């Protein structure tokens, strides 16, 4: 599976290594092309996953604010709810295409 913006691949891993939660594919940290990611000050807390960390993606001189997110400190019960530890896995939205 690949996550890309305008044809630039920002993460890639076999589907077997991804986790699907609430319709979003979460990529393992090792699959990210980190040169495109920078931290964002945006904050959000999910009632069952915990504190969300956002990333701005920079591709071809353009910044895509908050287009990636992860949960680095999961709340108790989150792993059991999903069935796998997804700590630090990154999901994408808006402008990012995830496909085979």
* CA-based nearest residue to 53, from 74, 83, 23, 77: 74
* Both tokens assigned to 94: 């808006």
What is residue 54's predicted lDDT score, i.e. its pLDDT?
98
Coil, helix or strand for 10?
Answer: strand
User: What's the number of domains the chain is made of?
Assistant: 1
Averaged confidence pLDDT in the chain: 97
Share of the chain above pLDDT 70, in %: 100
Side-by-side strand order, sheet with 50-59: 37-46, 50-59, 62-74, 90-92
* Tens-digit pLDDT profile for residues 31-77: 999 999 999 999 999 999 999 999 999 999 999 999 999 999 999 99
CATH of residue 47's domain is 2.170.150.40
Q: Which domain does 11 fall in, by range?
A: 2-99
Phi and psi at 86, nearest 5°, equal: -115, 25
């Amino acid at each position: 599976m690949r996550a890309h913006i305008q044809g630039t691949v920002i993460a890639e891993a076999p589907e077997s290594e991804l986790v699907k939660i609430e319709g979003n594919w979460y990529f393992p940290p090792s699959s990210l092309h980190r040169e495109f990611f920078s931290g964002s000050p945006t904050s959000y807390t999910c009632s069952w996953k915990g504190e969300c960390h956002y990333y701005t993606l920079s591709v071809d001189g353009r910044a895509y604010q908050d287009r990636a997110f992860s949960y680095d400190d999961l709340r108790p019960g989150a792993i059991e709810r999903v069935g796998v530890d997804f700590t630090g896995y990154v999901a994408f939205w808006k402008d990012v295409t995830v496909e085979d």
